[in-house]
Amino acid sequence: MTTLRVGGPARIVAECPTTQVLVDVVRLLDAAHIPTLILAGGSNLVVGDDGFDGVVVRVCNTTVGLEEGFVTAEAGAEWDRVVAQTVAAELGGLECLSGIPGSTGATPVQNVGAYGVEVGSMLRRVHLLDRRTGEARWVEPDALGLGYRTSVLKHSDAALVLAVELTVHPDGLGEPLRYRELVSALDSAEGDRLPSTQVRDAVLDLRRGKGMVLDPDDHDTWSAGSFFTNPVVPDGELVNVLAAIETRLGDVAVPRYPADGGTKLSAGWLIERAGFSKGYPGENAVARLSTKHTLALTNRGAAKSEDLLALARDVRDGVQSAFGVRLEPEPVTVGCAI
């Protein structure tokens, strides 16, 4: 039930094909104080080897509605299908988020982003079930505490996403290009707005080259996507980090970008420069870094959760030892810890 294909069994699984069934089931379980794990795409989740001794609620509501200036998608709708539908309808804005696995309901929770665009920038409102009161209501983005790959929804089970509304561009053009790699792939200029179909195709090509588009026959895609977030180093600590990089690597160009609270560094760059190459620790390992992209930790077919977690600790501790930067995991963990 997860894209990593690890984790122990679920004691009970409840499939919820509509929003009303989902609301009724969660209200019932919460009233009875039964441990509940909400699960949709399972693309950003690591479940421990002991599994989950409660009820796994599968979010399977999948309706998508397109309007001239916005799209409404229920939480269980496959995210890339939502993006594909908007692009096919000549609506722009979501194309840079093409190919991201998982469900629509998870996108505001993680404030999913890629190639210079975050869901938060396109979010119009979110339909939430308040699990403390049982009330379902629409909430504005300002109430979600959206940040880099995070929100208040990520750190609390008090609310469940039922649906989202996203702003789209009726002119069929995408968001202004901001990400250097994508700009180069499109042979364009930063700030250009190109047809969403053209941008989507380029994004999918880039993601496939990194093993970031799900393929059951490719173990490089048996992952949770990017396992670590790009670290934001506070201004007061940056000089020490840069000194550690220079001590280890010499006078090299360090990819860095302005961010709220400091400077954002590339987690993938730090991982590689700390000595972790693509495919680490080797072809016989059951869990290893993707052979295409060092930011993805992959199951080669026989891994357990603890194998993935041990690899994550190895990489995290190695980067911290080399550069004094502690990488933070992006996936949610259940019944386990890194």
Omega before 216 within 30 of 0, i.e. cis: no
Three-state secondary-structure class, residue 264:
strand
User: Known catalytic residue: 321?
Assistant: no
Q: What helix, strand, coil percent values describe the chain, rounded to 5? A: 30, 25, 45
Q: Which residue has the tokens 């980090």?
A: 241
Q: How far apart are CA 229 and CA 266, in angstroms?
A: 9
Cβ within 8 Å of residue 132, ≥6 positions away: 158
Q: How far apart are CA 267 and CA 205, in angstroms?
A: 22
Taking the CB of residue 317, how many other CB atoms lie within 10 A of it? 13
Q: How far apart are CA 114 and CA 182, in angstroms?
A: 10
Q: 92 has which bridge partners? A: 169
Half-sphere exposure at residue 151, Cβ-oriented, CA atoms within 13 angstroms: 26
Structure tokens at 314: 């190895």
User: Is the four-CA dihedral 188, 228, 106, 46 of positive or negative sign?
Assistant: positive
Structure tokens at 95: 């194309």
Structure tokens at 118: 């975050």
Which one of the listed residues 43, 98, 103, 226 is annotated catalytic?
226
What type of residue is 193? Answer: R
Which one of the listed residues 58, 125, 131, 149 is annotated catalytic?
149
User: Known catalytic residue: 226?
Assistant: yes
Catalogue the active-site residues.
149, 226, 330
